[in-house]
Structure 1
Amino acid sequence: MPPLLRAAPGGLAFVDIETNGGPAQLESITEIGIVQVDEDGVREWSTLVRPASGIPDYIQRLTGIDNDMVADAPRFAEIADEVFDRLDGRLFIAHNARFDHGHLRAAFRRAGLDIRPQVLCTVKLSRRLFPEHRHHGLDHLITRHGLVVSDRHRALGDATLLWQFWQKIHDRFAPGHIEQQVRELIGHPSLPPHLDAEQLAGLPDAPGVYLFYGERDGQASLPLYVGKSTRLRSRVLSHFAADHQSDRELSLSQQVRRIDWIETAGEIGALLKEAELIKQLQPTHNRLLRRNRDLCTWRLATDIVGDWRLELLHAVDLDFGRHDDLFGLFRSRREAINRLRALARDHALCPPLLGLEKHTAGARCFDFQLKRCRGACNGGEAPAAHGLRLIEALHGLRLESWSWTGPIGLREGATLHVVDGWRYLGSAREEGELADVLERGRPTFDMDIYKILVKAVKHLPVVPLPAPKAPA
């Protein structure tokens, strides 16, 4: 296998996509193929993608991908996380890379993700290495270098051709010469003028959290931004790429005076530490994970005559993990009520019986007159039937109850993430650290931590832990 580049410590990703011919602003991707190359070897991956519109006949003839083939394929948003993980931290290599990278980056943005890989175009690389040739299209490279075609105009087939081309040029040129050409083509991230490059000397390409600080009272102590990555160095350097896409990103890079980082055992540890630090430090450029003191949920209970009723409870008044009758997490009372109104409308539930409107007993509600209520308000529908439909409507919002009698540890590498009642107490590597974490007490319930932990318990080994001793 050709040597990896020092300019790409995270490895290489040879990428090709197929589209229905539409622009990047629309959901046009029909197939993605990726060949990952790193110290662990070579891995191939591909998937069909369902676009927002049909595939024209001429595209079907070119690629062999027709509308029937993508009818049951996932939308890009459904596979965005997996594609992100396969590309994140790697050198993105594609033929006419601006096309592939542009479509994928636009698709990631629609899915709420932002990826900033270093990008290498093999057309430009071929021109650098073989200036005597006029044409550098993929078909020309196939003929010129004797590349073996397996599935031309299919994403993985074309991505494999790029990997073959990469091996061919390493047979012909010294690795140092190729490294120099690649560095010149992908450029180097230019650090902000007030940031000392020495600060990055020890930054590892490992999982963890990074912290950007700006100037406050003459000191680099103002928290600007907290982020996480499975490859810290690559992610931090990507912030300082020359192609800032927004004034906010440019402003952040210009304000940075100091960078700190904390290594974690893996991705879950990074996610937990990121959420914890954002709420603790309140960085000026973080928005999504800021603390929310109005967190609330709907609780479903029965009254004295057995009718179902809903009550809105706030997180500060409730031990979330100990109940199995809670539905939805909402950042405000307004958000909770609006969601309940939407459920009432979609499932023909009676708004007065849900507590959304005042109502005279036995009278028809306004929604009944609009044929959006089945008459539970005036006896036209049995209360039990209305209650069952309410339970069905709420099913997708049901919160996970805590299944353990006490705290647990989620093992990630050599680290235990200590959790109790969906609250993150801390992480420990040694027995002494574990005892300290268990004695800290349980913090308030946090929605972002809850979402991380609900996924984590499905993937990480669970270790039951002893309950902390009560103070004497």
Structure 2
Amino acid sequence: MTLPRSAGRQMKLFHLESPLLQRLGGEFFQGLPSSPGVYFFFASKAGNDLLYIGQSGDLKARLTSYRHVTPEKNARRTLRLVQRTQRIEWRACATPAEAVELERVLLLEYRPPFNRAGVWQGEPWWLRVEPGEERLQLALSRQPEGIGPLPSGFRHALGSLVRCLYRSLHPEHSLAEFPLGVFQHRFPLQIVLPVPQTRVAEVTEMIHGYVSGEVARLEPWLTALLAWPQELERMTWEEEVEALKRFAKKLGKEPLGVS
């Protein structure tokens, strides 16, 4: 299913002036070299919270183009990337071929969340789901134990699944009350998910079902999130549900029939 776009709603995310121009200033874009290279988008003004890696034969032309991102012309994913970017760095290369190769190596090493799954080849994952008293412990590993093998992009899909499940289980909590690390760009390899004791078995079955392609029990939960009353948060759940649908399709099993 393709969710309908609301240009009016998306426009609220942007000022008339480019968000990147506001944050970085015109001098930043004027000083970029017109040479091949690799560029990096970060979510804060300092730190290693990398969002995206790209490459271009002309860094100045490519990065300047991000100043003109609009809801009418660009995908929602690109809009979200620009809105979250607080810092851009770049590394010049001698040739376009060198830039392409450097991007390939760095994508494999860092796997930023806004680079689409499948642009790199990675090792498979295995997932362990361990029920406990009023909790589930989830653990991702490269070791063949638990559910697997799962595609290399499963780490991101698991993050979307956990966030959706937690919101459905705890509608009274603010996003700030979600478990520590659940909104990290690289989802933790281990996390404890608080679950009411009466629903531990149900949530365990839904996680197993999603991974195995038996998704019917999960669909009503996701459908409810798409009708979340707060508009800005609802946009978050729309993105998360789309991510889950894409991964279910990638598994080649029963698709998510969420509408």
Relative to its length, the structure with more strand (as a share) is 1
Question: Is TM > 0.5 for Structure 1 vs Structure 2?
Answer: no
Q: RCO (CA 8 Å, sep 6+): is it higher in 1 or 2?
A: 2
Q: Which structure has the greater CA radius of gyration? A: 1
Superposition TM-score, scaled by structure 1 size: 0.21
Relative to its length, the structure with more helix (as a share) is 2
